[in-house]
Amino acid sequence: MPSSNSGFQRLSQTALSRSRFLRLAAGALLPIIGVRPSVAQNAGAPATRDTAAPGRAGAILVSQFGPVKIHSYLSPADGFHVNTQMIEGPTAIVIFDGQLLLPYADEVASYVQTLGKPVDRIILSHAHTDHWSGLQVLTERFPNARVFALDGVADQLRARGQARLDSFRPIYGDRIATKVTIPTETITEGLQRIDGITYDFRRFVDAESDLQLAALLPAQKVLMAFDLVFSPNEHAFTLVDHFDHWMIILEQLKALLGYDTITIGHDTPVHRSAIDSTISYVKRAKQIHAASADAKTYSESLKAAFPDRQHAEWVDLSARLLYAAPLKAHL
């Protein structure tokens, strides 16, 4: 397994031009660059503690809800600042999402092992590569854990997963998966108890991705929204023209009263007010998209509309994909 720190060196040593890097990343449909994950939390997030460990590149926050703990691993920036959520119940761990880069998935696995409980299952939230490439490591480290996803996700990975990995290889080399990990089990929607914890699984289409899982923990009043909700501190990905439907979904999430804590696909947990700020963002993005003839205009206008949000480069990437129609490249 390569060193956790080799990614930054690799990126700088390869000296990719910004445009080539964007093109490669766009081909893989993923955000790029950013900052090392901050353990500073979003306003309104639950009490958490950072479990910093020497040599670990990612950051881990732990939130406790009675007997249930949610451990959130945040990758460094070159791993797209993506989360893996580990839900610790009385006797087992359920892992959501598998990281982009293998070293970070390995950090997740090593951390899970310190919890001293078996991995019951691994659940993939959607088919964007930054959420599943590292499943290769997790399934190697936890061979008894079955991999679940919504019906349709496995087909998406079979169809396009290897091409996505291949598009990342010039950037990340051996830090990206060598094979696609296809989920073998289908998540059924609705209520389900796993290790004594009640989950309410929801299926959404045509938002940030074309097929997205959300998971509610009704007893803990936690909404795991993945890439449906973004931090008010960061730009959201607007990769495809699903603005209207995405806003409808966000209104549905807003109607889930009492869910004050939301874990998201990128960055630390947010308060439910992040639903409103995501709606505002998507609404503005829709207006700008309607008024912008090309990617450059869209990108510049959206960045100007939200000057305080981080990861302006995510807007550049979104604009490239959004204006690459009819490219159905949002996997």
Integer Cα distance of 40 and 233 in angstroms? 11
**For Zn ion, which is the closer residue by CB, 71 or 81?**
81
CB of 47 to Zn ion, least distance (A): 26
320 touches 240 (CB < 8 A): no
Q: Residue from 78, 227, 234, 313 that binds Zn ion (CB under 5 A)?
A: 227
Q: For Zn ion, which stretch binds (CB under 5 A), given 64-72, 112-120, 122-130, 284-292?
A: 122-130
Closest by Cα among 281, 94, 131, 270 to 211: 131
**For Zn ion, which is the closer residue by CB, 92 or 100?**
100
Task: Give the count of beta carbons closer than 10 Å to the beta carbon of residue 189.
Answer: 12
CB of 232 to Zn ion, least distance (A): 17
Q: For Zn ion, which stretch binds (CB under 5 A), given 178-186, 226-234, 312-320, 322-330?
A: 226-234
Q: Which residue has the tokens 């700020």?
A: 277
Give me the phi and psi of 205, to 5 degrees please: -125, 160
Residue nearest to Zn ion (CB): 265
Task: Give the count of beta carbons closer than 10 Å to the beta carbon of residue 328.
Answer: 10
167 touches 27 (CB < 8 A): yes
x/- site string to Zn ion, residues 253 to 272, per CB under 5 A?
------------x-------
Q: For Zn ion, which stretch binds (CB under 5 A), given 115-123, 125-133, 160-168, 256-264?
A: 125-133
CB of 31 to Zn ion, least distance (A): 7
305 touches 284 (CB < 8 A): yes
Integer Cα distance of 179 and 184 in angstroms? 15
Q: Which residue has the tokens 């480069």?
A: 313
* Binding residue count for Zn ion, defined by CB under 5 A: 3
**For Zn ion, which is the closer residue by CB, 106 or 227?**
227
CB of 197 to Zn ion, least distance (A): 24
Q: Does 134 bind Zn ion (CB under 5 A)?
A: no
CB of 6 to Zn ion, least distance (A): 23
CB of 165 to Zn ion, least distance (A): 16
In which element (H, E) is residue 186 found? strand 185-186
Burial 24-45 (b: 16+ CB within 10 A, else e): bbbbbbbbbbbeebeeebbeeb
Residues that bind Zn ion (CB under 5 A): 128, 227, 265
